[in-house]
Amino acid sequence: MSHSKTEDFHNQRPLKFVLRKDEITGDEYDGQLRVEMSCGHAVDPGSLTAWCRSLMDQGHFKLCCPADINGEKCGAQWPYPEVRQCAVLNDTEQYQFEQKLALLAARSYCDFKECPSCKSLVERKELTTIRVLCTVCTSTLRATYEFCWQCLRAWKGAGTPSDHCANVGCKDPNLEVLASCTTKDLPGSEICACPSIRACPTCGLLIEHKEKCKYVVCSRCQVEFCFACLELARACQATKAGAWFKCCAKPLAPRQTHIPVWSRQGGGLWGDEVNTGHREQSHTPTV
């Protein structure tokens, strides 16, 4: 930790300082006071800043504690105001953090992308079409400017096909991921050769199965579903009473060739599914 940042840290409003190791880096106590976070773990302002930056670089907008507890992560979510204070973020860092957190959160809950021309954020209101109008460019250029939601290039072709425009090579890269991902046996079950990446059947987010059971919770829409048959967890369990953990009533779903479009107007998207008590967390793969 830099000397200047240490001095700034001690000038903040009173916090609880402890003589303990840094739970982020694992560095033992070396005479340097560390702050105790709301979850009870001690951190150094510099390592806290670096850890939160790494989370945002991976696409996470929830800032959670990585402290090890008997081989498991603490996982407690830190409110941003707490991070801002304990990490002693300067004005520039605050601006960077807040801009990135807002963008990441919006990308998770809203359907928008950058216009390829003006780079402004455009929300797609008609979720069944990939031909999108940029009102900023249209106003600036005084001519209609549309781009392809899929290949992010100026729109070419007539009509509004749902799967491609007339630009060469226009195709959904997520479908290629689904078609080429490896297969795996799901732990604790009788299910073999299951695609390791699925599109959430509710919102379409790509999810890679890492470990634990066949039930996963989508990090975007919070709906729990079966990674094998792609039914909602509640439906899968209801049709296989007493043995739903090991197998499904339905056959293993094949590789997906279509990505669902998330209709946020529907109900049941915010965690009202059955809790199994042993669930895999979702991960967005880097492709």
pLDDT in tens, 120-142: 989 887 777 889 999 999 999 99
pLDDT at 280 over 80: no
Bridging pattern class, strands 215-217 and 280-281: parallel
Of all residues in the chain, what percent carry a pLDDT higher than 90? Answer: 46
Distance CA 94, CA 126 (A): 35
**Sequence ranges of the chain with CATH classification 3.30.40:** 3-108
pLDDT for the residue numbered 263: 66
pLDDT at 185 over 60: yes
In angstroms, the Cα distances linking 180 to 177, 203, 287 are 5, 21, 11
pLDDT for the residue numbered 10: 44
In angstroms, the Cα distances linking 29 to 58, 84, 226 are 29, 23, 45
Distance CA 247, CA 227 (A): 11
Contact assessment for residue 192 and residue 251, using Cβ atoms and an 8 Å cutoff: no
The pTM of this model reads 0.55
Distance CA 113, CA 35 (A): 38
**CATH architecture under which domain 3-108 falls:** 2-Layer Sandwich (3.30)
pLDDT band at 166; cut points 50, 70, 90: very high
Contact assessment for residue 192 and residue 161, using Cβ atoms and an 8 Å cutoff: no
Kindly report the backbone phi and psi dihedral angles of residue 184, in degrees, each rounded to the nearest multiple of 5, phi listed first. Answer: -155, 160
Task: Tell me which residue has tokens 């008997």.
Answer: 70
Positive or negative torsion for Cα 82, 85, 91, 96: negative
